[in-house]
Amino acid sequence: MNYYIITKETFELVDKSQVHFMRKSLDKTKRLIATTEDVEERIRKFNNIDTCSSYTFTNHSSWVGDGTGIETWEIEEITYIPEIDD
């Protein structure tokens, strides 16, 4: 699995069938994704799920806003469903 932060525009180009998790930044300009696809146009790539999760705790004001972050279990268990993406 690959873990990235990408722009909204790049997310529109990725293969949604390979995206397993997606969370929009609070300002809706970035997407944090878990995907099997290799994404070249990215803001940040994480080595593993733990570093991805840790990043959201350090930068919670961009992702959660309440002083917490995105837990690894959320990334593993919450499935992205393209049909309900707004």
- pLDDT per residue as tens digits for the range 33-83: 999 999 999 999 999 999 999 999 999 889 998 889 999 999 999 989 887
Q: Which two tokens stand for residue 73?
A: 């279990």
d(CA 20, CA 45): 16
Asked if residue 7 lies in contact with residue 30, where contact means CB atoms within 8 angstroms, the answer is yes
Residue 32 pLDDT greater than 90, yes or no:
yes
Side-chain half-sphere CA neighbours of 34 within 13 A: 21
d(CA 77, CA 21): 8
Residue ranges covered by each domain of the chain: 2-81
Average the pLDDT over 5-22 and give the result.
96
